[in-house]
Amino acid sequence: MTLRIGAEEEFHVLDVESGRLVPRAPAVLDRLNGQGFTTELQQSVVESNSGVHGTLDDLYADLAGARRRLDAAASSLGLAVVAAGTVPLARVTSREITADPRYRHMVEEYRRVADEQLICSAQVHVDVPDRDTAVRAMCLVSPWLPPLLALSASSPFWLGSDTGYASWRTMLWQRWPTAGPAGCHADADSYDAALEELIRSGVISDAGMVYHDVRPSAHQHTLELRICDACPRVETVVLVAGLFRALVRDACERLARTDGPECDGRHDWLRAASWRAARSGLEGPLVDPATRRAVPARVALLGMLARLRPALEASGDWETVHELLDRALAEGSAAHRLRRAAEADDLLASVDLMVAETRGAPGRGAAAPRAGAPTRRPGPAPARIRAQAQAKPQGQTQARTRPVGWGTGA
């Protein structure tokens, strides 16, 4: 059974000199002429859509190539792009919404919730045989999603201050009426009936506004992961994609067996588990999906890895996922790296690090690169992604008292 994968990434658009979020996505998109990029609710966000791939290496190459094209387009305008849940420096306004009737309706209906949608996520699609399987598999994979959120956590800052959370994006996102755990449904008919009921209630206007942590695609035979922050390092997206594909494969195989377990229907604890992951990232406890007890993040994720080993090996992903997870656990979450950079210097150092990691520059996040220092973009996908994960640490940045730009994307 081959389950293909694809990913969507959202990127903040920043002014090079000030490091502030700016509504310049339309100008960036004009430079890209389509090429798999599109708009989002806010004019400060660009969305990238990958192709459909059978291997993690191919997904990596696609995502890295898209980031190079996006960076070149932004740099030519004196802008930078960042893959992270939030950026430290932004302002809230209702005047910078993409000109689209659906988006305008959302702003009028949801007001401050829509105004503060200054957030970015990474989404992963995995093939499933049919919609019934997607709905039933959704229930089985849901308990294992909070650890994936912890891996992706990259949003410790909001409107100029440290929130104390690893993923503040999650806290903002959960204010939407349909965000959070998907719940349990016996089949596609039951799930679709629940969606129709939501639409008839007037709380949402269409099925696209169902913002569950995981959901069956409305247009494709895929299951879509939606719980994660956007990730500065493309390797993190690949790691999450590999783990999610293994979860879906494992669920499909369990469902195909006549004696396979069904979901127990007890998802009331999942919102609390997601809160824990958003608060702690990889630097604190997580709720272990197997025991529903608090354990160190490392214990939860290594237990998940061991559980999924047969599915990872069947997809040819075991070695790559194992080594990328080892690196993630050793170096900590993006939120941890960004917070360390800010503590060593200032919020602009955190912004510099976001930009460098989005571009593919090496480094372990102790601090940001010096102004004008060259950065290395990700090249073509290596034979194994692990070879890309052996970057050397970057040097410390000198303290500064003025905003720093990132050059022209060299």
Q: Is residue 408 part of a domain?
A: no
Residues in a beta bridge with 42: 97
Contact 3, 241 (CB under 8 A): no
Q: What's the distance, CA 154 to chain centroid?
A: 9
- Strand 5-15 to 45-49 pairing: antiparallel
Which CATH number covers residue 281?
3.30.590.20
Read off the pLDDT of residues 336-389 as tens digits, 9 standing for 90 and up. Answer: 999 999 999 999 999 999 999 999 975 433 333 323 333 333 333 333 433 333
Q: Is residue 189 part of a domain?
A: yes
Q: Is residue 405 part of a domain?
A: no
Domain that holds residue 16: 5-389
Number of domains composing the chain: 1
Q: What's the whole-model pTM score?
A: 0.88
Q: Is residue 87 part of a domain?
A: yes
Contact 392, 362 (CB under 8 A): yes
Read off the pLDDT of residues 276-299 as tens digits, 9 standing for 90 and up. Answer: 999 999 999 999 998 999 999 999
Can you give the pLDDT at residue 262?
66
Residues 224-252 have a mean pLDDT of: 98
Query: 194, 221, 186: which is closest to 210 by C-alpha?
Result: 194
Q: State the chain's maximal CA–CA distance in angstroms.
A: 66
Read off the pLDDT of residues 129-175 as tens digits, 9 standing for 90 and up. Answer: 999 999 999 999 999 999 999 999 999 999 999 999 999 999 999 99
Q: Is residue 283 part of a domain?
A: yes
Structural tokens at position 168: 């503040």
